[in-house]
Amino acid sequence: MGRGRQKAKHTKIARELKYDTYNVNYSALEKELGHHDDDPYVDKWADQYADDEDELEKA
């Protein structure tokens, strides 16, 4: 008996996701995901593994 109610709920959610338009703040997303010049990237794993280029030069 609960399957009909469950299916109706899933159908409602699917329609909302398909037809609703969401306002996305792209500038905030870019700030969050972007690379900042004042925060340099540091590869903490770089010293633990040899590069492929180094192995090719030795061979």
Measured distance CA(19)–CA(11) in Å, rounded: 12
Q: Which helix (H) or strand (E) holds 12?
A: helix 2-19
Residue 48 confidence (pLDDT) above 60? yes
Q: What is the pLDDT of residue 24?
A: 84
pLDDT-derived band at 43, boundaries 50, 70, 90: confident
Residue 45 confidence (pLDDT) above 90? no
Measured distance CA(18)–CA(24) in Å, rounded: 16
Coil, helix or strand for 27?
helix
pLDDT tens, position by position, 8-38: 999 999 999 899 887 888 888 888 887 666 6
Query: Cβ distance 11 to 3 under 8 Å?
Result: no
Measured distance CA(59)–CA(53) in Å, rounded: 10
Residue 59 confidence (pLDDT) above 60? no
